Amino acid sequence: MRIEMGTSGFDILDGNIQQSILWGDIVEVSAYKRDLITIDQLCLHLILRHGAEVTVNEDFEGFWDWLTKLETQLGIGAEWRTQVLYPAFRENRQTIYRRGL
């Protein structure tokens, strides 16, 4: 799976399946980790207008560039990373963005 950036949003591509998401359609973002026994996997869960939900993780090609762009587009500071990434092997779920707050 991979993420490709566009001018007003991004696409998530999985083989022949493509899901297009506009930055303005994101109403909430939660960050957390999955404990994979020997490593953690950073995940972001997006809630979109009209109730659609999407989860992306650091194994997606293009994730780190996308994450930087997400933070910029939505005005999310980087302080959440320390709170979610440490300590290791705990979920540490945090809502890092909610539209209108």
| Residue range 6-49, pLDDT digits in tens | 989 999 999 999 999 999 999 999 999 999 989 999 999 999 99
Cβ-based neighbours of 21, under 8 Å, separated by 6 or more: 9, 10, 11, 12, 46, 48, 54
pLDDT band at 82 (very low <50, low <70, confident <90, very high): very high
Each residue's pLDDT tens digit, 63-72: 999 999 999 9
Dmax (CA) of the chain: 38
Instruction: Kindly list the domain boundaries of the chain, sorted by start residue.
Output: 25-96
Q: What is the pairing mode between strands 26-35 and 17-22? A: unpaired
User: Which three-class secondary structure state does DSSP give residue 43?
Assistant: strand
